[in-house]
Structure 1
């Protein structure tokens, strides 16, 4: 019999909302946690769009920043590079 325990990295994507007032006060809130970067982006974009429409600010107004889409290939490459030493040692 052979038993092996391993530690595996888990990647999650969190949608956050950061608000900074003119007097310098700031607050961050979390709008959800997702397994998939694309789903997190879609949710973040939709929530931002609803707030944008509600505020009535013009398109391109720099007071409201829409989320940036993650490059999931870049993230996976970084994760694979971080795990490479474990593969050499037989742990991954």
Structure 2
């Protein structure tokens, strides 16, 4: 089961929908900041996440899910740290 690193950013106008997106991403995240989360996902998990997020947002909201192909070249500044790929996925 191969996982890829994705960064998911969002701009959701409605607090209720924003909270639903936040709670969904929190289940997958390995790190991140407000409205931007790092998630290691399998292809199946990515599809499931996309489908769930589409069911939560409306036409005025924006979500961007971007794969990071070269994790070794990530530049971390300040207190940021490199993402760590674990062999398991924690749903908490």
TM (normalized to structure 1)? 0.29
Report the TM-score when normalising by structure 2.
0.29
Report 1 or 2 for greater relative contact order, CA contacts < 8 Å, sequence distance ≥ 6. 2
**Higher strand share goes to which structure?**
2
As a proportion of its length, which structure holds more helix? 1
Of the two, which has the highest radius of gyration? 1
